[in-house]
Structure formats: C-alpha cells, structure tokens
Amino acid sequence: MHKPLIDKYGRHVSYLRVSVTDRCDFRCTYCMAENMTFLPKSQVLTLEELDQLCSAFIARGVRKLRLTGGEPLVRRGIMDLIRDLSRHLKSGALEELTLTTNGSQLATYADDLARAGVKRLNISLDTLDHQKFAEITRRGRLEQVLTGLQAAKEAGIGIKINAVALRGQNEDEFSRMLAWCGQEGFDLCLIETMPLGDIDGDRTDHYLPLTVVRERLEKDWTLIPSNHVTPGPARYVSVAETGGRLGFITPLTHNFCEGCNRVRITCTGTLYMCLGQEDHIDLREILRENDPAALDAALDRAMLLKPKGHDFIIDRKGQKPAVSRHMSMTGG
C-alpha cells in the first residue's frame, strides 16, 4: 500500500482535478482572452501519460477524479482515456470519475460516458438567454448545450449546473435558472468570478458578491441550510419549493480553504497545490523519465508546498489578476 497524500496541515488530498487540454470551443469572457494562443502538442501530456499520472495519484489515496479543460470533450481520443481510467472504478480504488464540461459535445458523448461509469457531470452554463449566451461564450450556441444536457439526462447522468455570477450580465437570471433546474432535476451552483489570467478586461466591473445574490434569491425562494457536502468547495442549501439544491462557491467573500482536499494538474503535467497560488511542481519530465519512485517523491514534496489558503482578491487599483495563468490552463 502506498501512503496517503497528507499535507502539512493534516489535510488528506483525496480529490484530483486534471486538465486534459487547454483548448476549448468557447471563449468565455471571464475565462479566456478572445484570441488565445494554445500550447503545442509536444508540451501537452499524451493520453497514456495522463492515465499513468492519474493512476499514481489513485494509488496514493485519491478517491475522486475530475477531468477538466479547456473543454475536455474536444480532446481527441478522450473517450479512450475515460474508458481506461474507469478500471479504477471497477476495482473500487476510485469512488467517482466525473467531468466539468461546457456541454457542447454531450449529444455525441453522453451515452459513452454513462457506459464508462460517469454518473455525474458539472456543466458550465451562465445564462438561459440565447443572446447573452453568445455574448459570454463569444462563439457558443445555447441550443447545442441544451440538446447535450437532455442527452446526458436521458443517459441517466446526474447534472449540476455551474453559473458564474457576473454583474451587469446575468445577475437578473438566477431566480429563473433556479426554477429551470428544479423542473429539470438539476442542482445549481453559483460561483463568484475568480481573478485568474489576463482576459482583456477589468474584472472588477463584473464582480458580484454571492451574498448579494443570495439576498435577492431569498425574496423568491425558501433556502434551507443543508448538511449536503461534496469534495468540492461549494456550500449548499436546499430549495423548499423545488426540493433541489443550490450551492455557493465564494472564494472572495468567504474563503473555502480550511478543509481543502484538492490539487490540480494542468495538461502539461504541472501540479498546482492551490488554484490561487503559483507554487507548483513539474511532473511531466519525471513522467517521461519513467521513474515511479521519483514520481512518488515529487508527490511527497508537493504536500509540503500546499498552502493553508489562497490569495484571491479583486484588485481595483492594480487591476491585475491574482494569478497570471488562465483558468483554462489550470482546469476548472
């Protein structure tokens, strides 16, 4: 048995998020610059390397694995990787294999995902207004996403909708989205915009505290404190009128770091111990040296670097992102 991954604060790292690509078919305004320069293929881990790396973490006690991007379902051969990783579900070493996706490719892949053992998906969807959707994503079509959601639902996959709260863009839609999620049987999770990456704009213009959003929602809905807990950072309430759940991810108004059990790997094999910190370890070269002992030692070093909390702040004076890398690079 390999020893578990325990950081210097005694937190057991049991949740790994892996970006399988930095590419995406959308260019969401809070996530990417409009004209992105993507990585050359030689810098991106192969599917075999991604499998090897994920398996090394699973051997060290990771129980939940989330594949992200960019958009993970635009990665060529992605279903081969998912099917290979599903062996850890069958063995019992892994409790859950899931994805965060924009939903654009779900009509094609929903049935295959279900057959591979994917039981839940997080779908990034910030608006139900067709024009606003096109504006926020810069190139997406809402109809395509809604078709994909229906395909996933019919395949028996549970859905959680992730919506980033954007002042002046979608702040008047959350009551409608909550009603829609209740009708469809989806959970809804609202997220404060995070200061990551240069996105060609002043992020402070769109920052909307979720304390404000919650106060507005409570005029229309009865929100009941919930004991529901997931490996992620959301805090949940139950919605009395629909029986559904509503989550809040508040990196700026309420630090969620005290129980953090997560680390992230970029598509280049860089391990970040915190979404809001720059400390990292390059695992790509270690992987390519094919030295399992060196990889294990690198994971032990990483646990010593995992910080107690992030440094997120919306900086109105400097107007600089807290972290220079884009969310699409790190993985959502």
**Digitized pLDDT (tens) for each residue of the chain, 332 residues in all:** 589 999 999 999 999 999 999 999 999 988 888 888 899 999 999 999 999 999 999 999 999 999 999 999 999 999 999 999 999 999 999 999 999 999 999 999 999 999 999 999 999 999 999 999 999 999 999 999 999 999 999 999 999 999 999 999 999 999 999 999 999 999 999 999 876 545 455 556 778 999 999 999 999 999 999 999 887 788 999 999 999 999 999 876 555 566 789 999 999 999 999 876 778 999 999 999 999 999 999 999 999 999 876 554 544 444 444 455 455 555 55
Q: Are 129 and 180 in contact (CB under 8 A)?
A: no
17 is known to lie in a ligand binding site: yes
Q: What order do you get walking across the sheet with 158-165 strand by strand?
A: 223-225, 235-239, 245-249, 187-192, 158-165, 120-124, 96-101, 64-68, 15-19, 262-265, 270-272, 280-282
Give the whole-angstrom CA distance, residue 94 versus residue 156: 20
24 is known to lie in a ligand binding site: yes
pTM value is 0.88
54 is known to lie in a ligand binding site: no
66 is known to lie in a ligand binding site: yes
153 is known to lie in a ligand binding site: no
Residues forming a β-bridge with 190:
163, 248
263 is known to lie in a ligand binding site: yes
The structural domains of the chain, with segments of one domain joined by +, span: 15-327
What phi, psi does 257 have (nearest 5°)?
Answer: -90, -20
181 is known to lie in a ligand binding site: no
Amino acid present at 51: D
36 is known to lie in a ligand binding site: no
Give the whole-angstrom CA distance, residue 310 versus residue 239: 30
264 is known to lie in a ligand binding site: yes
70 is known to lie in a ligand binding site: yes
124 is known to lie in a ligand binding site: yes
267 is known to lie in a ligand binding site: no
18 is known to lie in a ligand binding site: no
194 is known to lie in a ligand binding site: yes
Cα 71 to the chain's mean position, in Å? 10
**Distance between the two ends of the chain, CA-based, in angstroms?**
30
Q: Among the CATH numbers 3.20.20.70, 3.40.710.10, 1.10.150.130, 2.40.50.180, which is that of 15-327? A: 3.20.20.70
